[in-house]
Amino acid sequence: MSAPPAPRILEAPSTLRDVRVRVDERIDDLLTGEHRRWSRFDQLLDEPLERLRHFSVNGGKRLRPAFCHLGHVAAGGDPDDPSVLDAGAALELLHVFALVHDDVMDGSELRRGDPTVHLHFSRLHDEHSWAGESRRFGEGVAVLVGDLALVLADGLLTGAPRSAWDVYNELRVELVMGQFLDVAFAANRSADPATSQKIALFKSAKYTVERPLHLGAALAGRLDELADAYSGYGLPLGEAFQVRDDVLGAFGDESILGKPVGDDFREGKPTRLVLTAREVAEREQLAPALEVLDRIGDPSMTAADVVAVQEVLEFTGARAEVERYIESLLHRSVDALTTVDLEPGARASLVDLAVYCCNRDR
């Protein structure tokens, strides 16, 4: 058995910071150009384009571009290859598309410390006393802003080889399927752990880690050789990333997260934390705990209700159990990197990035 990958890494590794700077510059250049082009055409296009640019380059971890970059470099690819930078920027704009639409579906009010895109335009509608319903206007514009991010993401991959497009296309389909499962799962209030794990697989494991790695390997011409090892690293790490996200959504610091803690409870998301707590409460016949957990899914949950759920997650041992699960996934992920020949520096960076993903506070 391999040595544990500790120490804990809470600060973003240098590779992640470096990739973020380059990707942000690429996206800013692209969106500034589009803003300049279309706002000249009609001033009504100024605000949506500026909002897309602001949202895209302010906040976010840039994990998907980083995994794409490291997947490419670890495979022996040129770290300065412009096609990898464009692929990373495409992944980030695809993520913007997903977040903007996700916020509409969830009715969220805060993202990256700012009002969500649909709320921003709903308030703009109210300020100008425009015709129609402000909520519908805000949601409609947000959907279009997300659509534009998707179209521009696709454009960045125009010159990519067929193998890279195959990975990118599969990533997009998997993302939509995972989102559909997430919406349906929350609506029917299912408690099926298998479906919960499928959602984590598509919305996080594949989307955040595995497919970006595969895309980087495809751009380096080594996808067939490295696909299995990258999946062995990416799938458990992606699941750990999602589970850590769930823990932060339940117990994180709102000032660091940039979004409210407890929203997952109000939306009724059946996270591993909640499912574990419910399983323990039912097995031990903890009626008061079950009463608290039954409040999950009520949009009107108060701050006191959120605290009560947090206490149950602690009391039942669910939080501790989930932390142990994250650690086990981290070990599996790092072990997979020992099975193939990779560029040593990039391999070390992949280990650091895995430890950071599992221990992050945002």
Give residue-wise pLDDT tens across range 107-143.
Answer: 888 888 889 999 999 999 999 999 999 999 999 999 9
- pLDDT above 70: residue 3: no
Whole-angstrom distance, CA of residue 101 vs CA of residue 112 = 15
Given this model, what pLDDT does residue 205 score?
Answer: 87
Whole-angstrom distance, CA of residue 142 vs CA of residue 119 = 9
Q: What is the DSSP string of 264-303?
A: HHHHT---HHHHHHHHHHHHTT-HHHHHHHTTTT-TT--H
pLDDT tens digits for 176-223? 998 888 888 777 776 677 777 788 788 788 999 999 999 999 999 999
Phi, psi of 317 (to 5 degrees): 80, 10
Question: Given its phi and psi angles, is residue 27 left (phi above 0), alpha (psi -120 to 50 degrees) or beta?
Answer: alpha
First-to-last C-alpha distance (Å) of the chain: 30
Global pTM value: 0.89
Architecture of domain 14-359: Orthogonal Bundle (1.10)
Give the position of tokens 């015709």.
131
Task: Confirm if 343 and 74 have CB atoms less than 8 A apart.
Answer: yes
- Going by the DSSP 8-state scheme, the letter that residue 115 receives in this structure is E
Given this model, what pLDDT does residue 259 score?
Answer: 75
Give the position of tokens 């706002």.
39
Q: What is the DSSP string of 209-244?
A: IIHHHHHHHHHTT-HHHHHHHHHHHHHHHHHHHHHH
Helix (H, G, I), strand (E, B) or coil at 110: strand
Distance of CA 295 to the CA centre of its chain: 26
Dig out the tokens for 302 from the structure.
Answer: 């108060």
